[in-house]
Amino acid sequence: MSVLDATPGGDLQALENELLEAIGAAGDLNALEKVRIAALGKKGRISLLMKSLGTMAPEERKAFGQTVNGLKQRVSDALSARKDHLDAAELAGRLATEQVDISLAVRPGPLREGRIHPVSQVMDEINEIFADLGFSVAEGPDIESDYNNFTALNIPLEHPARQEHDTFYFNEKADGSRRVLRTHMSPVQIRTMLQEKPPLRIIAPGRVYRGDSDQTHTPMFHQVEGLVIDTETHMGHLKWVLEEFCKAIFEVDIVKMRFRASHFPFTEPSMEVDIGYTMVGNEMRIGEGDDWLEILGCGMVHPNVLRNVNLDPEIYQGFAFGVGIDRIAMLKYGMPDLRAFFAADLRWLKHYGFLPLDVPTLAGGLSR
Ligand code: DAH
């Protein structure tokens, strides 16, 4: 049909029927948009009718114009009604297919899939135990000055302990000073005593580095350093704190402990502590039996160390200790090879790791 044939009441009625039918038949918003363009778009059939008005005589134009306007209005109304209908249908369809089935099992999420590394867990356990004894946590950097790591701790340049530590040194600076990857957590003692006034009661857990690698040694491992400084601190306090710590960490009521005389440059006297254990089959029973395992070094802080941080040894004394965290984790959770700790093997982590919400507390149980 040519648009120009359109006359009031004649072909216009046919056009309207045709358009309304097409609108009703449009099954989705795309199809509906096509109908709209065919009718009302720039070159749409109704738009062309409107344009043809300009060529008509005034009388004719008035009547025809009214009719076409009526047609345009009805077609527009039909288009928007159909659009509302299709929108609603689409929403209903989405709601029907996107339903959540609350009877399905919970999907494994990060909280169930992820694991806390045993070393992190044991660190949290240690923090929890010492918090209960009134210790706070102190920190220091992994990259230390040679002075804090050695000299201030009464380990001068020519001291053999420097060799024993297999130190990773950085290049010498212009002023001759050297930095190191800290070989133990003891430099945090120095930092703490320089920053805070006694009485002091801190632990410092962290990473330490030594060039050493076999089944029980890795180039990076973990220690916790402890330090207590006051005016009347003595070895009895040291012994009690360590006994409480060992009972709590191994979750036993009685721990067999042995304090062996030893030597560290930063303590005098110095001791190493062994705990008794026995093997029952493959299981290691801590705190009983006649075998001994070394777990920490300790002693009374050397007067030279106190002098190095401007504390008067005639007024202040204290004790310090250093515990290998990985060692404790191996013992406590029966993990025989230290290297596996750092292999990033997800199967190992799944087996030995802890759930993120299993936060150790003294009241709730440290390991559960
Ligand atoms: N710093 C020592 C080490 O890494 C461990 C240690 C021993 C720390 C005795 C101490 C201590 O505070 O008193 O080998």
- For tokens 């002091």, the residue is 200
Q: What is residue 8's predicted lDDT score, i.e. its pLDDT? A: 47
Ligand 1 centroid from CA 298, angstroms: 6
For 255-312, the pLDDT digits (tens) are: 899 999 999 999 999 999 998 888 888 777 787 788 888 889 999 999 999 999 999 9
Question: Any idea which fold 116-352 has?
Answer: BirA Bifunctional Protein; domain 2 (3.30.930)
Pocket lining: 186 vs ligand 1, CB cutoff 6 Å: yes
Cis peptide before 269 (omega within 30 of 0): yes
What tens digit of pLDDT does each residue of 100-113 get?
888 888 777 777 78
Q: Summarize pLDDT for 131-188 with one digit per residue, the tens.
A: 999 999 999 999 999 999 999 999 988 887 777 778 999 999 999 888 999 999 999 9
- Region of 71 (left: φ > 0; alpha: ψ -120 to 50; beta: rest) is alpha
Identify whether the C-beta of residue 205 lies closer than 8 Å to the C-beta of residue 127.
yes
Question: Quick one: pLDDT at residue 9?
Answer: 47
Q: Which atom of ligand 1 is nearest to the CA of 301?
A: 13
Of all residues in the chain, the percent with pLDDT exceeding 70 is: 97
Q: Is the CB of 321 under 6 A from ligand 1?
A: yes
Q: What is the pLDDT of residue 280?
A: 81
pLDDT at 3 over 70: no
Amino acid 86: pLDDT: 93
Residue 2 has pLDDT above 50, yes or no: no
Indicate the pTM of the whole model: 0.70
Pick from 279, 355, 313: which is nearest to 121 by CA?
355
Mean pLDDT of the region 125-129: 95
What pLDDT was estimated at residue 118? 94
**Integer Cα distance of 30 and 362 in angstroms:** 65
Of 182, 221, 273, 298, the one to substitute when testing ligand 1's pocket (max ligand atoms within 8 A of C-beta) is 298
